[in-house]
Structure 1
Amino acid sequence: MPSDAPSFKDFLPISIAVFVAMLGLGMLVPVLPALAARSSSSALAAGALLSGFGVARLISNVPAGLLADSAGIRATMGVGLVLIAFGAFLGAREAGYAPLVASILLQGAGGAVFVTAALTAFVDRAGPARRGTAMAWYQGALLLAISIGPCFGGLLAERYDARAPFVCQGVLALLTLGIVLRVRGEGTAPKRQNGPSLGLLGRPALFAACFMGLAGFFARTAAAWGLVPVVAPTLHGMTPSDVGLLIGVGTAANFIALPLVGRATDRWGARPTLLVTAALTVAALVLLAAVPQAWALWLGTALVMVGTGAMLPAAGSLALAAGADAGTGAVTGLVRATGDLGMALGPIAATGLAAAAGLPAVDGFWITAALVAGASGLFLAAGGARRAAA
């Protein structure tokens, strides 16, 4: 390894910042349904509140990347954290439905701005030779935070009130701001092109890499949030706590595998890593669909989490290689936007398409496997991905 290669100390400060900020956002997960019901008797209004966070993230990723290219990474992270803190303290007030919606929108947008800039910082610190490791560090910090955040949020809500996680989130955002202000060397992300980010999707290699990221997020959320919670109780008699443990074990397996994924991506290349892990994901989804046994549910869920968790950093590395002549922030924002689109569609589309076709929910695994396989075929057809990774 070259002497100037990034070390543990290079990634640790930003990893801590991502963990602390996302821990606070994760705390809101268990209280949002109750607050939605408390704030409005309309089911439509409650649904709009719950979806507002994802919508705000989706539309903020690309502008956040462009801001990182123009205003600087540290300044962009600071803007995101201020938005999160302001939204959190607004949500902590018992002021009715409209302020609560504004709180969720501000936190969704702030989270997107912060995380996009933080990922850009990881990538810039790593350089082209260590992008896989950088993506693994980023995803590990994010994954750990959003996995344990809901636990803390639930405890705070039970001990105090459903608004307590908002207060804690605001405090954590301000603490993270203090961490970010102390991080040195986070300047402006390299920018070589002034064209719009969405125009980059016209490049076949970059489009294919982003679509693989979308497929990875789609498969992950379709399985963990949409299909497993339905299939496990109906076919195997599992309780909600069993389902939580099932997904938790899969998440833990993903977290343990991340360092190996980062090293594999950097050593053998993002392209073969992406194809192998996509194949693993398809095989796991087929196992879940075809084998109605409890052991297959446990094994398949864990393999889906590991496979998709490996697809995401590899797809991001390839997208950055394919857009190497554009701004790092612009490409990072695009990668996150397409990933968030897959995350939003996964839980709805997999179960919805199965229901529309008159099929049982378990057949949603077949639908998800077909999407990942189709994305892999598109990726192979875009031969420029191989040249971009070279």
Structure 2
Amino acid sequence: MFLAMLGMGLIIPVLPEFLHELGAGGQAAGYLVSAFGVTQFIFSPIAGDISDKYGRKPMIIFGISLFALSNLLAAIASDLTLLFVSRFIGGIGSAALVPSIMAYLADITSEEERGKGMSWLGASMTSGFIIGPGVGGFLAEFGMRTPFYASACLGLLTMVCTIILLPESLSSDLRLKRQQSKDKRENIFRQLALSFKSRYFILLLIIFAMTFGLTHFEAIYPLFVVQSYGFTTRDIAILFTVCSLIATFNQIVLTGWLTRKIGEKAIINYTLLFSAVTLILLLFSGNFYYVMTITMLFFTFGNILRPTINTLLSKEAGEDQGLVAGMNNAYMSLGSIFGPIIAGILFDVHINLPYLFGALVLLGSVVVSIKGVKVKKDVTSS
């Protein structure tokens, strides 16, 4: 997960210049981010089901290989069409990779250990963003497309490491039993309909809102700071590197302590609320260090929120870790579809509108969380 996110982080600083070269504005940028989410949404539950039956490792390898192919196509893209194709392929790769890794983690941890495991998994994802943008900004000095080639190479390296070093987490007997099972899972849209009545629906809904807010923030962030505050590619690289580093440190130090002190539900409520506030505060000044502080806070709240929700969702999943991880990714995908599209449209109307609307969505999710999230008493006890 670290290497995959590192590869994704590499390309962040060059996006404004890359999109400008291809004649793309805020709306096109939003559609490009959403294209990733469309195929991620469609294939996530399918990938989760396959990983339950045939093992986590094959799906992880498959996902990483598509990730590498996606970045290679982006590197050679000379128009938006090929860039969209690369994003669609990347979405399929993410659908195979993310739920399989989350289910793998659930396979090898007890419920008591799972919160810590999810926290470390979240830290590994964020760590990719620590190094990625900084390295991407450096590589961009050798050419705007260099970060894409480097990202593709990292994907291939990760695939080789996975093949050699990663053991399968599901026993052959369990995989055979599931393969012989005659129970058929519904298609993605039927699964979504059934999830509305599930005991973990509110958590899935918050995952959607969280991802909506995050992709709303990230989809037009490079364009926003360039057009509104005049930041450079190097400035963006420094921002993402420093902010991700501090946010990851805060997550590792604070998540466990906050869970013991105030419990998971309070963490969810407060991080959603403070995330909404930071989106609004971002609009008040173009001072570099002010923007860095606000961005760092937004990343910190998101980094603490993500493993907290994933832990609760995993505990509710029981034996259907692959399926629920797939639904988790599907709701993340829905957020990453609609968040960037709306952000891009609003950005072309007024540069500040995406962050105001994103804050509104996150505030609404606070109300949903307060009324709907329930946790076991022993989970929140200190």
TM-score, normalising length: structure 1: 0.74
**1:256 correspondence with 2:238:** no
Q: 1:388 to 1:318 in 2, by over 3 A?
A: farther
Mapping of residues 168-187 of structure 1, within 5 Å: 168-181=150-163, 182-187=165-170
Q: 1:128 to 1:171 in 2, by over 3 A?
A: same
Inter-partner Cα distance in structure 2 for 1:168 and 1:243:
18
Question: Structure 2 unaligned runs (5+)?
Answer: none
**1:117 correspondence with 2:119:** no
What displacement does 1:328 show? Answer: 0.6
**1:210 correspondence with 2:204:** yes
Contact map agreement 2:30 2:343 (CA 8 A) in 1: no
SS where residue 206 of structure 2 aligns? helix
For residues 281-315 of structure 1, give each alpha carbon's deviation from its aligned partner in whole angstroms, at most 9, with x where no partner exists. 244345456x6695765543332221122111112
**1:317 correspondence with 2:311:** yes
Choose the corresponding residue for 1:270, options 236, 255, 264. 264
Inter-partner Cα distance in structure 1 for 2:337 and 2:185:
27
Tell me the number of residue pairs that the alignment of Structure 1 and Structure 2 aligns: 364
Inter-partner Cα distance in structure 1 for 2:34 and 2:209:
20
TM-score, normalising length: structure 2: 0.76
Q: Name whichever of 94-103 and 366-375 sits farther off.
A: 94-103
Q: Which residue of 2 aligns with 1:329?
A: 322
**1:61 correspondence with 2:55:** no
For residues 135-171 of structure 1, give each alpha carbon's deviation from its aligned partner in whole angstroms, at most 9, with x where no partner exists. 2222222222244334444544543672x54544443
Inter-partner Cα distance in structure 2 for 1:362 and 1:94:
30
For residues 88-139 of structure 1, give each alpha carbon's deviation from its aligned partner in whole angstroms, at most 9, with x where no partner exists. 5566668987666544432331233122211222233233223332222222
Q: Name whichever of 173-182 and 85-94 sits farther off.
A: 85-94
Contact map agreement 1:204 1:384 (CA 8 A) in 2: no
Q: Which residue of 2 aligns with 1:4?
A: none
CA RMSD of aligned residues (A): 4.1
Inter-partner Cα distance in structure 2 for 1:69 and 1:301:
37
Amino acid at match of 2:365: A
Q: Which residue of 2 aligns with 1:381?
A: 371
Inter-partner Cα distance in structure 1 for 2:315 and 2:166:
26
Amino acid at match of 1:172: L
Inter-partner Cα distance in structure 2 for 1:113 and 1:262:
27
Inter-partner Cα distance in structure 2 for 1:363 and 1:32:
21
Q: 1:282 to 1:203 in 2, by over 3 A?
A: same
Q: Name whichever of 277-286 and 254-263 sits farther off.
A: 277-286
Amino acid at match of 1:138: L
Higher relative contact order (CA 8 A, sep 6+): 2
Q: Which residue of 2 aligns with 1:137?
A: 120
Identical counterparts, % of pairs: 24
Amino acid at match of 2:368: L
Contact map agreement 2:212 2:339 (CA 8 A) in 1: yes
Inter-partner Cα distance in structure 1 for 2:61 and 2:98:
11
Mapping of residues 19-34 of structure 1, within 5 Å: 19-29=2-12
Inter-partner Cα distance in structure 2 for 1:370 and 1:215:
10
Inter-partner Cα distance in structure 2 for 1:293 and 1:316:
34
Choose the corresponding residue for 1:371, options 346, 351, 361. 361
Contact map agreement 2:72 2:152 (CA 8 A) in 1: yes
Q: 1:382 to 1:225 in 2, by over 3 A?
A: same
**1:239 correspondence with 2:231:** yes
Question: Structure 1 unaligned runs (5+)?
Answer: 1-17
SS where residue 200 of structure 2 aligns? helix
Inter-partner Cα distance in structure 1 for 2:337 and 2:14:
19
